[in-house]
């Protein structure tokens, strides 16, 4: 019996030692919270028809590394479509910023294919436009957007490291597809959000 218990005890001790080492490794990892965070702004916009129109609200986080020309802006927004309104939402990205990645689960169907097909990143061709990109969520009228569709979108942008550091981050959020030359969106309603970086 002792011969059976001794290997078992050694195995148990080895497993315990490995678990302690693993836990120690996890504890040693440093998590960065609000690293280089410079400014935060909240926003909300939508059509007036409560329960029928389009509503969106969210927060913009801007990070800026003071030692390098390295700035990142992240828009997080929740979009909700009413029972009758067929428009989507467009986020305009100012010149000097590049769209790095977009994550979204809109229209909330659980299908990543639906989310992909309802998301467009459009680079503006108009050199006179104040906007470099348009990120459109659910704006394609050929898509069958279900009534009551809703979801979250996360848009991450990075500053052009070759350019002089940005003084602010500006975005125009609008209901509808709009157009690239818009000084104010052609959508039903819009809101301009500027986040100073000084």
Q: What angle do CA 101, 121, 66 make, to 5 degrees?
A: 40
Q: At 28, phi and psi to the nearest 5? A: -75, -20
Q: In this predicted structure, what is the pLDDT of residue 136? A: 92
All structural domains of the chain with their residue ranges? 37-196
CATH assignment, 37-196? 2.60.40
Helix (H) or strand (E) holding 133: strand 131-137
Mean pLDDT (the chain) is: 79
Instruction: Determine how many CB atoms are found less than 10 A away from the CB of residue 45.
Output: 23
pLDDT digits (tens, 9 = 90+) for 24-72: 555 556 778 898 899 999 999 888 665 567 889 999 999 987 777 778 9
C-alpha distance from residue 107 to each of 43, 92, 136, 178, 180 (Å): 21, 20, 13, 20, 24
- Distance, in Å, from the CA atom of 136 to the CA atom of 172, rounded to the nearest integer, reads 12
In three-state secondary structure terms, 84 is coil
- Distance, in Å, from the CA atom of 111 to the CA atom of 46, rounded to the nearest integer, reads 25
Asked whether residue 141 carries a pLDDT value surpassing 70, the answer given is yes
**What does the DSSP 8-state code read for residue 30?**
P
Q: pTM (2 decimals)?
A: 0.77
pLDDT band at residue 119 under the 50/70/90 scheme? very high
Q: In this predicted structure, what is the pLDDT of residue 198? A: 67
Confirm if 138 and 116 have CB atoms less than 8 A apart.
Answer: no
């Amino acid at each position: 019996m002792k011969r059976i218990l001794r290997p078992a005890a050694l195995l148990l001790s080895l497993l315990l030692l490995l678990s302690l080492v693993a836990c120690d490794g996890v504890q040693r990892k440093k998590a960065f919270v609000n690293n280089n965070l410079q400014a935060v702004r909240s926003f909300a916009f939508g059509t007036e028809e409560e329960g029928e129109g389009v509503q969106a609200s969210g927060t913009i986080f801007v990070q800026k590394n003071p030692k390098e020309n390295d700035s990142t802006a992240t828009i997080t927004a929740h979009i909700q479509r009413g029972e009758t309104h067929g428009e989507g939402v467009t986020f305009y990205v100012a010149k000097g910023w590049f769209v790095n990645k977009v994550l979204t689960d809109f229209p909330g169907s659980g299908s990543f294919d639906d989310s992909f097909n309802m998301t467009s990143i459009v680079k503006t061709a108009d050199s006179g436009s104040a906007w470099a990109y348009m990120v459109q969520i659910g704006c394609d009228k050929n898509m069958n957007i279900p009534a009551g569709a809703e979801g979250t979108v996360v848009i991450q942008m990075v500053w052009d490291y070759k350019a002089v550091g940005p003084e602010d981050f500006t975005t125009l959020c609008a209901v509808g597809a709009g157009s690239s030359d818009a000084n104010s969106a052609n959508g039903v309603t819009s809101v301009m959000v500027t986040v100073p970086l000084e």
